[in-house]
Amino acid sequence: MRIEELREEEFVCGSFACAGCGAILAVRLALKVLGPETVVVTTPSCLLGVTTFYPQLAFKVPCVNVPFPATAAAVSGLVAGLRRKGRENVRVLGIAGDGGTVDIGLQALSGALERGDRFIFLCYDNEAYMNTGGQRSGSTPLGASTATTPVGRGAKGEDRPKKDMLRIVAAHNIPYAASASIGYPADYIRKLEKAVKAGGPAYIQVLTPCPPGWGYRSDLTVHLARLAVQAGQWALAEYEEGAWRVKEVSNPRPVREYWALQKRFAHLLQESGGEG
């Protein structure tokens, strides 16, 4: 499916997301690929906060909100329940932020992946707990300053590298796992289509920049989502039938360029005196 072939119809609209929110764009594209016969299972996060606060219900597909750790477990229940009711045509799409995926939701996700049910799990990665004010998560990159990894005397922001969630997921030997970026929508859409066709669990982790959380101007979201890939800070990878494929970066950019646009890395530039 090419971008021009995407449906016109919107399945999430009128949300309260910030201007330039990468997450809502990722969800919007995902639902355009999956279509109306979909149920979304989601969890406390920015997404839930900006879409399903009554009376503002922004999803045009059914949406089931579950506790923070429970996305994938409820997904399993829905898959079983729908199958039992002869409605397995309804696709089950679990959506969680990075915190709801790589941290508190990891156990339930591991269980669901291992059980092998047919569902898609979309992790939109804005690299921190944005809904609660931008605290670090296991997915926060090394060096980023967050509300709980502030920069100060002797403290240089996040002191641990980003959790390699895609490899953790792939270690479950599921049919399909991929990382994507909203800066590369054609690639993202293609991966969503593959996820739809996978015969079992499919996982996509999509990079979704966040203007207030990362500290940048809201018109730069897509630019940063591209730059992250070009600066080697985000890989467009695919795990399929046991094999890895990683998109090669054709026009690499210095990481400094990526950092320089975001407040969360500002201290690194000062420290390195502009070198990068």
Ligand X SMILES: Cc1ncc(C[n+]2csc(CCOP(=O)(O)OP(=O)(O)O)c2C)c(N)n1
Q: Phi/psi class of residue 134: alpha, beta or left (left: φ > 0; alpha: ψ in -120 to 50)?
A: left
Stretch touching ligand X by CB under 6 A, among 4-12, 14-22, 73-81, 96-104 = 96-104
What b/e string do you get for 256-265 counting C-beta neighbours within 10 Å, with b at 16 or more?
Answer: bebbbbbebb
Q: How far is CA 187 from CA 107, 113, 181, 193, 237, in A?
A: 29, 23, 8, 10, 10
Stretch touching another protein by CB under 8 A, among 75-83, 150-158, 167-175, 200-208 = 75-83
Size of the site for ligand SF4 (CB under 6 A): 12
Q: Is 176 in the site for ligand X (CB under 6 A)?
A: no
Q: Which of 34, 48, 50, 95 binds ligand SF4 (CB under 6 A)?
A: 50
Q: How far is the CB of 156 from ligand X (least distance, A)?
A: 22
* Kind and range of the H or E run holding 53: strand 52-53
Q: Is 19 in the site for another protein (CB under 8 A)?
A: no
Bridge partners (DSSP) of residue 36 are none
Site for Mg ion in 93-152 (CB under 5 A): 97-98, 126, 130
Nearest residue (CB) to ligand X, 98 versus 238:
98
Size of the site for another protein (CB under 8 A): 44
Which candidate, 67, 141, 76, places its Cα nearest to that of 105? 67
Residues that bind ligand SF4 (CB under 6 A): 17-18, 21, 23, 46, 50, 126, 130, 210-213
